[in-house]
Amino acid sequence: MITRNLTEIKATLPEHVTLVAVSKTKPIVDIQEAYDAGQRVFGENKIQEMVAKYDALPKDINWHMIGHLQRNKVKYMAHFVDLIHGVDSFKTLKEINKQAKKHNRVINCLLQARIAQEETKFGLTFNDINQIITSEELSELENISIVGLMGMATFTDDKHQLQEEFSSLKNFFDTLKTQNSKLKILSMGMSGDYPLAIENGSTMVRVGSSIFGHRNYIA
Ligand SMILES: *Cc1c(COP(=O)(O)O)cnc(C)c1O
C-alpha cells in the first residue's frame, strides 16, 4: 500500500517540488517500506520520535522537523536534522544556532508564517518575518541558514479560502526573495490540499496520511 501510494503521488508532482513523507506516529517498518521504494525525505513532528527513528534507520535519510519546536529539545537533533520547518521565533533560531555550532554544522531553517484563520495555528506574521530576515542580529548567527518559509492553511474544504491563504504566502515569499537570494523553499501543502498548494507556488509538500494511511491518534 505505502509503495503504491508513494508511486502514485510522485507521478503527479512537478519536478521542482520535493515530497516530504510525514511519518509521525508510524512504525519503523512503514518508513523502511517507503525508503525501499526510493523515498529519502521524511518529516516528523516530535523531536524524540525523530531521534529514535534516525537511530534505527539508514543514514542517508534526510530528516525534517515539521512540528512546533520545544527549545530545550533542539540539542537532541542538532547532529543530524536536515531542515527545520517550524521556526517561529528569534529565540528558537538562536538556540538552533547554538546547538548547530557544537556540531560544527549549519542547519537549514524555514520560518513558519501564520496564514490560517484558525487561532490555534502557530506562526509569525509577515511583519515579524520581515523583521527577522532584515535584523542585524541574524547575520551573527553563522550556524543557521534561513532557506525559505513554511505555512499551514486552515483545515477546511473551502477551496477559495485555501487558495487565498496559499497565494498570500506565495506573494510574500516572492517579495522577500528579491531581497534575499538564500530563500528557495516554500513549504506548503498536506494530504488534503497539496495539489492546490502546488498550483499556488509550493516547492515542498508535507504528505502523511495519503502515503501511510490514517494515523491512530491525533499528532
Ligand atoms: C501531520 C502534518 C502534516 C501531514 O498531514 P497529512 O494530512 O497526514 O498529510 C503536514 N505538516 C505538518 C506540520 C504536520 O504536522
Q: Residue 179 domain-assigned?
A: yes
Structural domain includes residue 130: yes
pLDDT at residue number 55 = 98
Atom of ligand 1 nearest to the CA of 20: 10
Average pLDDT on 119-132 reads 89
Q: Could you give the CA distance from residue 10 to residue 37 in angstroms, rounded to a whole number?
A: 11
40-97: pLDDT as tens digits: 999 999 999 999 999 999 999 999 999 999 999 999 999 999 999 999 999 999 999 9
Q: How far is the CA of 202 from the centre of ligand 1 (A)?
A: 15
What is the domain range of residue 160?
2-212
**What does the angle CA 70 – CA 78 – CA 144 come to, to the nearest 5 degrees?**
90
- Answer yes or no: is pLDDT of 218 > 90: no
Whether residue 140 is contained in a domain is answered as yes
Residue nearest to atom 11 of ligand 1 (CA): 206
pTM of the model: 0.96
pLDDT classification of 14: cutoffs 50, 70, 90: very high
Residue in this structure with the C-alpha cell 546547538, named with its chain if needed: 99
Q: Is the CB of 20 under 6 A from ligand 1?
A: no
Q: What CATH code is carried by the domain that includes residue 140?
A: 3.20.20.10
> Does residue 68's CB lie within 6 angstroms of at least one atom of ligand 1?
no
Going by pLDDT thresholds of 50, 70 and 90, the confidence category of residue 122 is: confident
For residue 65, tell me if it sits in a domain. yes
On whether residue 217 sits in a domain, the answer given is no
Please tell me the total count of domains within the chain. Answer: 1
Tell me what pLDDT residue 117 has. 82
To the nearest 10°, report the CA torsion of 181, 9, 210, 118: 30
Residue 219 lies in a domain: no
